[in-house]
Amino acid sequence: MSAFFAPETPVIVQGMTGRVGRAHTANMRAYGTNVVGGVSPNGTELDGLPIFRDCAAAVAATGAIASVLVVPPLSLLQAIEEALDGGIRFLVSVAEGMPVHDALKALAAVRAAGARWIGPSTPGMAIPGRVKLGFLPSVSLAPGSLGLMSKSGTLSYEVGYRLVQRGLGQSLWVGVGGDSVKGTRFADMVPVFEADPGTSAMVVIGEIGGSEEEELAEALLRYGARKPVYALIAGQTAREGVTMGHAGALVSGDTGTVATKTAALVGAGARVFTRIQDLVDAVAAAEKR
């Protein structure tokens, strides 16, 4: 999966000296991620890593091209703009609650810079056994051939864990996040997984609300995807007009429902499930054949 992200890529952490930033940095380093420094107005060194006042200084000193942003949601737009101005081209932002208008501005800046942004409201991404950006639980990760992408952190942890218990790991795991405006969507990952010889199938953890699963179906047809796709659509019992945890998980009228998403994905050749165990059983049976 080095075409998506090279495991040896030097990474900085914006907000590394905060309590959460310190914890995530330690976790990523323990997993093998090449964290080379941090950005914070406080301090000059932490656990042997240099701390810089801004991204430009961090990039100049370390050669970093990726950043994990552990900053409050109202500061996220400014942090993304600073990262891009400093030369960062791969961003993972974990904070929930980024204002929509800020996310729209950030998305425009990311696209103008030719960068990739995973987030907001994401647990991160991983190439299992090699690199992790964010806080995906290691117990749910294992090297394998499944390309996993998810809106929901918690649901994906459970799916990943159950598949690992069945001897099935992942080639790449990307948490796209549950917000309506985000840097990377399901459809963006289709050409990545289709082109990767180490990926045998795609596992998609979706949910009610928005049109992302329908966009995924369109992308599967557009790219002529040939690899099997297994999709979970959560939220079957959600009521119309009620946000279910994620900002984007909102059913309105006849859009964003389990039925509309299922119809689109089935029409594109995917197998769709509403229960985790049914999806895990189907993937395990097919992969072991």
What positions carry a catalytic annotation?
246
| Residue 9 to residue 90: CA distance in whole angstroms | 10
DSSP state of 118: E
Contact between 110 and 84 under an 8 Å Cβ cutoff? The reply is yes
Give 180: exposed, middle or buried? Use CB within 10 Å, 0-12, 13-18, 19+.
Answer: middle
String of DSSP letters for 138-197 = GGG--EEEEEEEES-HHHHHHHHHHHHHTT--EEEEEE--S-SS-S--HHHHHHHHHH-T
| Residue 45 to residue 97: CA distance in whole angstroms | 29
